[in-house]
Amino acid sequence: MTNIARHSEGTTARLTVQLTDPALLRVTVTDSGRCTVPWTPGVGIQSMHERVEEIGGTLTIDTTPEGATVTADLPLVIPAAETPWSRAA
């Protein structure tokens, strides 16, 4: 939401959280700001992508000149051996 406020010049942003499956949470952020097409992701989006993949989720981004939609599908159950923080030991 901070990046939308800083960069998109949009007038609206919407955050939607849905339980799409008993074990899957979908978080969608949509804005009405400007977006150049083709679009190149920055460091923040790349970091989000890596973190979502680390827990077995997916991150998709759809852009148009009228705005962008970022969707994260996140598993609700993550085996302990697969969590990023369990590898630090």
58-64 and 24-31 beta bridge pairing: unpaired
The model carries a pTM of 0.78
Cα 78 to Cα 34: distance, rounded to the nearest angstrom: 36
Averaged pLDDT of the chain:
84
Q: Give yes or no for residue 10 having a pLDDT over 60.
A: yes
Tokens standing for residue 47: 């970091």
Cα 61 to Cα 31: distance, rounded to the nearest angstrom: 12
Write down the pLDDT at residue 88: 54
The verdict on domain 2-77 having CATH code 3.30.565.10 is yes
Contact 29, 15 (CB under 8 A): yes
Each residue's pLDDT tens digit, 67-89: 899 999 999 986 665 556 555 55
Tokens standing for residue 25: 């949470």
Write down the pLDDT at residue 6: 77
